[in-house]
Amino acid sequence: MNKAGYRWNKNKLQLFLLALPFVLYILLFNYVPLFGWVYAFFDFRPGVPLGKVPFAGFKYFQMAFDFKSGSELLQVFRNTLALSFLGILTTPLPVVFAICLSEMNNRFCKKFVQTFTTLPNFISWILVYAIAFATFSINDGFLNHILLGLNWIKEPVNPLANGSIAWLFQTALSIWKSLGFNSIIYLAAIGGIDSEMYDAADIDGAGRFKKILHVTVPGIAPTYIVLLLLAVSNILSNGFDQYYAFMNAMVREQIQVFDYYIYRVGLGLNEYSLGTALGMFKSVVSIILLFSVNQAAKRIRGEPII
């Protein structure tokens, strides 16, 4: 407990009173909602107090996981995992970006590239949708204007409404948005590598690529592993804004992800109990994943992430 002893003096009291509102705040906004999990076990209807609501047991969990062949939840799971998997597959890209950027000699170009490639990270997904619309729309998007003008294509392309490339398209958008920003942490890691290592490699006669392979990559591998493991533990969360913004009837089957599904079913269709059950499932699985990944981290790098 407290090293200063158990007695509460004036200082401790003042500290505690100052901190108390924040503690209550944290409890209210983060832990009190957990009591809401009880709604998953009742036939909850808005407006009816909990005491008067019939008990439902695991009915909603069964309903949610009724995996008939056409079940929507199965599709949602598939989409969520596929998109997360594609995201994990592309995690080396910021690393490559950072390494290549650090090899650039011209400082002005470096700064220029870094400034403008980090820009997309700071706009909302709604704005990204607006930009995608300005780029890809069939009538006014500049891509179609340019491609048709150059006669490279006969018909306009419409990636925004194309279900078969939806996963790749969304992944590409994610990359566009976050590549520059994600590379910053790797650039910081590269900056932290001891320059003596490079000098030693020089003496051993290593060329540019050998130096990258044997000095730079091992130097930033710890950072990469931590970020990779965190990405794995977040596999069920794809984000909401992105898929809400790009949702339309033609790509719904491909990009309806778990978070969106919970929103649509729980709030949109007013299935509060079902939505709560799904949310519970997601939270529990996420925690299990996180701790498993933490254990894996312990084994790989000797120390856990959290």
Partner 1 sequence: MKMTGHKVNIANVAFHTVNYLMFGLFTLICIYPFYYILIYSLSDTTKASMGVYLLPEGFTLYNYYSLLTNEGIANAALITVLRTVTGTALAVFCTALFGYLLTKKELPFRRLIYRLVVMTMYINAGLIPYYMMIKAIGLRNSFFVYIIPYAVGAFNLILIKTFIEQMPPSIEESAMVDGAGYLILFVKLIFPLSLPIIATVTVFTAVFQWNSFSDNLIFVTNPKLQTLQMLLYRILQNVAEARQNVRTDEMARNIRIVQPTPTTIRMTITMIVTLPILFVYPFLQRYFVKGIMLGAVKG
Q: What angle do CA 195, 199, 201 make, to 5 degrees?
A: 115
Q: Does 31 bind partner 1 (CB under 8 A)?
A: yes
Would residue 47 be called left, alpha or beta, if left means φ above 0 and alpha means ψ between -120 and 50 degrees? left
Pick between residue 69 and residue 106 the one whose CB is nearest to partner 1: 106
DSSP state of 54: P
Partner residues linked to 42 by β-bridges: 55
Pick between residue 146 and residue 300 the one whose CB is nearest to partner 1: 146
Q: From CA 53, how far away is CA 272, in angstroms rounded?
A: 13
Please identify, among the stretches 23-31, 79-87, 151-159, 162-170, the one whose residues bind partner 1 according to the rule CB under 8 A: 23-31
Q: Do residues 83 and 170 make contact, with C-beta atoms less than 8 angstroms apart?
A: yes
Q: Do residues 171 and 179 make contact, with C-beta atoms less than 8 angstroms apart?
A: no
DSSP state of 55: B
Q: Does 25 bind partner 1 (CB under 8 A)?
A: yes
Q: Does 108 bind partner 1 (CB under 8 A)?
A: no
Pick between residue 18 and residue 302 the one whose CB is nearest to partner 1: 18
- And the tokens for 289? 């994943």
Q: Do residues 167 and 86 make contact, with C-beta atoms less than 8 angstroms apart?
A: yes
Task: Name residue 163's amino acid.
Answer: G
Please identify, among the stretches 57-65, 84-92, 99-107, 160-168, the one whose residues bind partner 1 according to the rule CB under 8 A: 99-107
Footprint on residues 241-280 left by partner 1 (CB under 8 A)? 241, 244-245, 259, 262-263, 266-267, 272, 275-276, 278-280
Residues that contact partner 1, how many (by CB under 8 A): 96
Q: Does 189 bind partner 1 (CB under 8 A)?
A: yes
- x/- letters, 134..173, toward partner 1 (CB under 8 A): xx---xx-x--xx--x------------------------
Q: Does 219 bind partner 1 (CB under 8 A)?
A: no
Query: Considering the complex, what minimum distance in angstroms separates the CB of residue 190 from partner 1?
Result: 11
Q: Does 39 bind partner 1 (CB under 8 A)?
A: yes
Q: Give the three-class secondary structure for 229.
A: helix
Task: Name residue 149's amino acid.
Answer: G
